[in-house]
Amino acid sequence: MDHPALPSMKLSFRPDIPAGYNQTQAKVYARLRLQVLFSVFFCYSAYYLVRKDFVLVMPDLVSEGWSKSELGTVMAVMTVSYGLSNFVMGFVADRFSTRWLMPLCLLVSGLVSLALAGATWFSCPFLVIALLMTINGWVQGLGWPSSAKVIAHWFQREERGRATSFWNLSNNFGAGLLGPLAIFALAVFTFWQSKLVLPAVLAIGSALLCVFWIRDRPEDCGLPPLLEKESEEKLGRSQLDTHDSGGVRGFVQTCLTMPDLWLLALLNMCVYFIRYGVIDWVPLYMTEARGFSFEVASWAFATFEFAAIPGTLLCGYISDRVFHGKRVPMNLLNMSLVLLALLGYWHCNADHWLQPVCMLAVIGFLIYGCVVLLHVHIIDIAPRRYVAACVGFCGLFGYVLGASGANLLLGRVVDSWGWDGAFQLITANGVVCLVLLLILWLRDNNRLGAEAVPSEQPLVE
């Protein structure tokens, strides 16, 4: 079943005729890759509906006696589970069909969200909530590696900045809908657990639809595989050949010897600490520290996500068109501005809601640009047979150490030293990001002179 492609997307992603394609195949390819991109966008948006909905019930749980440390621990349990799953599910996604795995895991995540609503309704103990969040984190972990695999197989390097930028908007679209959905659910159903129920129902419906639209690679649709311009920058080393053993052993031998992959993993950790250190605590910070209503906090949460849409698209376009596929220069600029906006959010006047909401919008505009360029950079340097495993490896750092650190540490820091201590910790991670980006920039510049002109060759599978 083909999903109708948007005219504006056709203009943005109008491909040249790929090598080895005739005119008829090129037309089919142009249509199908938009269908697939839009499908993984839609599916991953639904993933976010049931990943971040718990954040919006945190003020309700505090009113029922939960401490911030307990909430931070629950969120950390989920992010650790998600990070480990990113890595493990990366290998699963490389070997099995995304078309079936991605909707299946979304379906399970929706059912878990319904179970969370029931558990909070019946005041189940902490361990039950933590177990459900662990399960949710694990099934959620398949989403990003699967999406990266699809983008790597359907789009060439010079297009991936724009393709990944568009896909990355699914994060903002899904999470941004949660604020309005929560307000609607409370208005209609009156009980606060409905903020978990409504997103779960929408996610389950989305999972059933996406099976009909997603395709793993052009070969699944009777098209030739794309030829890839493989350079030493792409591979990180020259040993990817017929002697590559494949699987976990091949990943260790080929990918874990790439210094850039480790630098990107550490950078992912720090960026995710900032991203989740800000967004996961917005409802509680805005209601407790700023004294605003739940409605204002919900719209602030949505503003952070929706402001990322133009920022993400702009970053992907500039990195493709202006920097010709180089991701680091744009990321350096973005992260520098993120630090300034973070200071503005921290120290702005608390008398009116407009100033902190505007600062949140600026942070959202910028930080998701950093995230998407990191994603594209990982796809760029990863051998295509290991794309899902490489993004899963970086996701392991991003979520197990970055996002879970933000949830686990910040809850305790706020309890002990207040919100100023939390902002100091987030700012320190921003400084580390700048240092890591400068190292990557120096490595890229040193490699430029020694890099041979790449030649087209068939994709090694």
What one-letter code names the amino acid at 418? G
CATH no. for residue 396?
Answer: 1.20.1250.20
Helix axis angle, 143-154 to 68-95, nearest 10°: 40
Confidence at residue 375, expressed as pLDDT on a 0 to 100 scale:
82
**List of the chain residues with pLDDT < 70:** 1-17, 19, 227-247, 349-351, 447-461
Q: Is 434 among the domain residues?
A: yes
Longest dimension (CA), the chain: 65
Q: Is 155 among the domain residues?
A: yes
Q: Is 167 among the domain residues?
A: yes
Residue 456 sits at φ, ψ, to 5 deg, of -75, 135
pLDDT digits (tens, 9 = 90+) for 108-152: 999 999 999 998 888 888 889 999 999 999 999 898 888 888 888
Pairing relation of β-strands 456-457 and 228-229?
antiparallel
DSSP annotation of 225: P
DSSP calls for 19-84: TT--HHHHHHHHHHHHHHHHHHHHHHHHHHHTTSGGGGGHHHHHHTT--HHHHHHHHHHHHHHHHH
CA 163-168-171 angle, to 5 degrees, is 155
Question: Are residues 373 and 319 in contact, defined by beta-carbon separation less than 8 angstroms?
Answer: yes
Q: Is 418 among the domain residues?
A: yes
Q: Is 22 among the domain residues?
A: no
pLDDT digits (tens, 9 = 90+) for 163-190: 888 887 887 788 778 888 988 988 888 8
Instruction: Provide the residue range defining the domain that includes 299.
Output: 29-216+245-447
Q: Is 96 among the domain residues?
A: yes
Q: Is 367 among the domain residues?
A: yes
Q: Is 240 among the domain residues?
A: no
User: What Å distances lie between residue 379 and 151, 258, 392, CA to CA?
Assistant: 9, 13, 11
- Say how many domains are in the chain: 1
Taken in order 331, 337, 339, 345, the sign of the CA dihedral is negative
Nearest to 18 by CA among 148, 153, 165: 153
Confidence at residue 244, expressed as pLDDT on a 0 to 100 scale:
54
